[in-house]
Structures are given as C-alpha cells and as structure tokens.
Amino acid sequence: MASLLEVDGLSASYGRMGLALDRVSLTVEAGSIVAILGANGAGKTTLIRAISGLLKLHGGAVASGRTLLDGQDVTRLSPDRIVRLGVAQAPEGRMVFKTLSVEDNLAVGAASLPRARRGERMDAIYHLFPRLAERRGQAAGLMSGGEQQMLAVGRALAAAPRLMLIDELSLGLAPLIVKAIYERLGEVVATFGTAILVVEQSARIALRYCDRAYVLEGGRVALSGAAGDLSSNERMRDLYLGAAAGH
C-alpha cells in the first residue's frame, strides 16, 4: 500500500514551554488504521493538531520537519485547505452540535461535497451506524456519550475524507461501545478505503483493531511497529498492556 500521510521529523512547541513534539516521524498507508498511544502529556493531541493545521489556533507552532499528504507538503497550510485536500477530524470531546439534530450534524460534515453526493453519503453513514439512523431527528445533545462519538465519527466521514483523524476515541465510553465503534471503523476502511489515524487511551484495544501503532513518550516516538509485533513486545507489555493504558 502507498503512504497517504507522512510525518517527517516533526517538532512543535507552545511558546517557550519547550518541545511538545521532538522529531516525530510516522506513516499512514492508504486503507489502514494507525494508532497513536502514550501517557497524558506525551504529545498525542499536539501531533493531531499539527497534522490538521489546528496547532496555531491553540498557541502552538511547528518548529521543524514536515507533514506530507499524498506527497504534498501541507505543514503550514490552513485547516480549511487541509480539509479540502481530504482530511477530516473527529475531535477530542466529540464536539457535536448539541442543539442540532443528528441529520443536521451530518449535513454540516457533508457540506463540502457536491449537492448530488450528499444524500448518498449520508445514507451510507446511516447504514454503518444504524443507531444514528434511528435518532436522525433527535438533538445531538440528548444522546449518550457513545452515540455522540458515533455521530462525531459519522460527521467527519460525511465529508468523504481520504484520511480521518480521531482524537481520544474511547475516552469515557463503555468497552462494548468502544468495540462496536472500532468494528465500524474496519467497515469504513473496507467500504470507502479511508485511512484512519486514531489517538487512543487503551493500548490493548488499539492493538486489537489497528494495523500499526506509534507510542509517544515525552514528545518522541518511543516504540512503533505492526500491532501484532507490539502486542508481544516486552516493554510494551510492561508499560501499557499490564493494565489499561493512560491517555
């Protein structure tokens, strides 16, 4: 498979607070699911912000390195340009529009598509997430946390992205709901060919459903590899698989 996303030696910081990312490199191949793991403060969300172009809005800046999307340097492009190139994000905390219906939330995600494609795309999302179809007229703020996470993923998917970024997928959700969402992500890859980069607090579940993973420690890549290889890595087991991993 070809590399859709390449992060090459990326360093980033917030003001004078030191490097939040220190020469981070990773690859996401087309049609794959890749996890970013690590303890709180390891740099996971900073990395997602740098890839999506949102880092500047949070007071951060890329110090060195670059991000390539399908070979194009997008390191310093605006977030809207990056979206137009095929990147969509389900942010930490879900951030659904709580007063809008499920249908209207998805319509916001699909707004960048040609009008003729929007209905077909939304129908495909309802097929993937039947619970959203059942609640299409309901205000998003009245749904459970798991349903809101499904909606956040669905809204990102509505834009027909080539790459979907998901920040803290399992945070605050029951294990059965997390399992159901990951199973749907596998269907997303199979149906649409969308590549997925997910920040995950649970190393155990990430290694079960993802193809590859990168472990950040102190803003650096400490471990990386195929999910199966990391599952049997002694350091990985000792630090992240003996109990639920930190986020």
For residue 173, pLDDT beyond 90: no
Is residue 178 domain-shared with residue 212, that is, in the same domain? yes
Query: What pLDDT shows up at residue 1?
Result: 54
Q: From CA 59, how far away is CA 42, in angstroms rounded?
A: 17
Is residue 95 domain-resident?
no
Residue 97 is predicted with a pLDDT of 81
Same domain flag for 35 and 149: no
Percent of the chain scored above 70 by pLDDT?
96
Whether 227 is covered by a domain: the verdict is yes
Give the confidence band of 243 by pLDDT, cuts at 50, 70, 90: very low
Structure tokens at 56: 């500047």
Place of tokens 């129908």: 123
Helix (H, G, I), strand (E, B) or coil at 38: strand
Position 122 in a domain:
yes
Residue 151 sits in the same domain as residue 63: no
The answer to whether residue 229 scores a pLDDT higher than 70 is yes
* 111, part of any domain: yes
Residues 16, 138, single domain; the answer is no
- Is the domain of 52 the same as that of 145? no
Residue 17 lies in a domain: yes
With a cut of 80, say whether residue 17 has pLDDT above it.
no
Residue after which a domain boundary falls, among 121, 137, 158? 158
Q: Is residue 136 part of a domain?
A: yes
What's the number of domains the chain is made of?
Answer: 2
- Both 167 and 149 in one domain: the answer is no
Structure tokens at 195: 């590549």
Question: Using CA atoms, how far apart are residues 166 and 199, in angstroms rounded to an integer?
Answer: 6
Examine the domain organization and report whether 31 and 125 are in the same domain.
Answer: no
Positions of E strands within 15-119: 19-29, 33-38, 60-69, 72-73, 87-90
pLDDT of residue 23: 96
pLDDT > 60? residue 247 = no
Give the residue from 143, 158, 173 where a domain finishes. 158
Q: Does residue 126 carry a pLDDT above 60?
A: yes
Same domain, residue pair 128 and 29: no
Using one digit for the tens of pLDDT, what is the confidence trace for 40-88?
889 999 999 999 999 999 999 999 999 999 999 999 999 999 999 999 9
- Comparing 152-156, 170-174, 229-233, the range with the smallest average pLDDT is 170-174
42 part of a folded domain? yes
Is 246 a domain residue?
no
Residue 211, pLDDT > 70, answer: yes
- Quick one: 43 and 146 in the same domain? no
153 and 165 share one domain: no
Asked if residue 216 and residue 180 are part of one domain, the reply reads: yes
Instruction: Say yes or no: 66 and 187 in one domain.
Output: yes
CA 70 → CA 4, 55, 119, 214, distances in Å? 5, 21, 28, 20
**For residue 245, is pLDDT > 50?**
no
203: domain CATH number is 3.40.50.300
Which has the minimum average pLDDT: 3-12, 45-54, 72-81, 89-98? 89-98
Residue-number span of the structural domain to which 105 is assigned: 101-158
